[in-house]
Amino acid sequence: MNNRKENSTNTINESYWKDHCGIAFTLSAIGGRWKINILSYLLHEDKLRYGELRKRLVGISERMLIAKLKELEQDKLVNRIVYQQVPPKVEYELTALGRSLENILILMDEWGETNM
């Protein structure tokens, strides 16, 4: 996808990458404080406007939401749909790739619910 190799995980040795490279990549795509929340909402609600997402993600700053949406878009997990009109309207939705994360999110949710 994009510049994964510049992330913090690039200091890991070869034996690691042989065994767990996929995990590191997945984490780099959905890890951090906000991305999974964003993906979850888009999973449940199909299309959401920027402002709707912001209302749901209580506590996120505009700057962060934009940054994370842009990263998700660059990683092809979400589509950004621009409606040419005034006032502006932009919607975000999951791509097929984004939806393919559903199994992982479900498993994580189940494990958490069971063990919290």
Q: Which of 41, 50 has the CB closer to DNA?
A: 50
Task: Please tell me the distance from the alpha carbon of residue 100 to that of residue 81, in angstroms, as a whole number.
Answer: 20
CB of 67 to its own copies, least distance (A): 16
Q: CB 87 → its own copies: shortest distance, Å?
A: 26
Give phi and psi for 12, each to the nearest 5: -80, 145
Q: Is the peptide bond before 88 cis (omega within 30 degrees of 0)?
A: no
CB neighbours (10 Å) of residue 29? 21
In whole angstroms, how close is the CB of 17 to DNA at the nearest point?
Answer: 17
Binders of DNA in range 2-31 (CB under 7 A): 8
Q: What string of DSSP letters covers 65-100?
A: HHHHHHHHHHTTSEEEEEE--SS-EEEEEE-HHHHT
Does residue 64 bind DNA (CB under 7 A)?
Answer: yes
Instruction: Note the residue count of the chain.
Output: 116
Chain residues that interact with its own copies, rule: CB under 8 A: 1, 4, 8-9, 11-13, 15-16, 19-27, 29, 31, 33, 36-37, 40, 44, 56-59, 97, 100-101, 103-105, 107-116
The residue ranges that bind DNA (CB under 7 A) are 8, 32-34, 49-52, 54, 59-64, 66-67, 69-70, 80, 82, 87-90
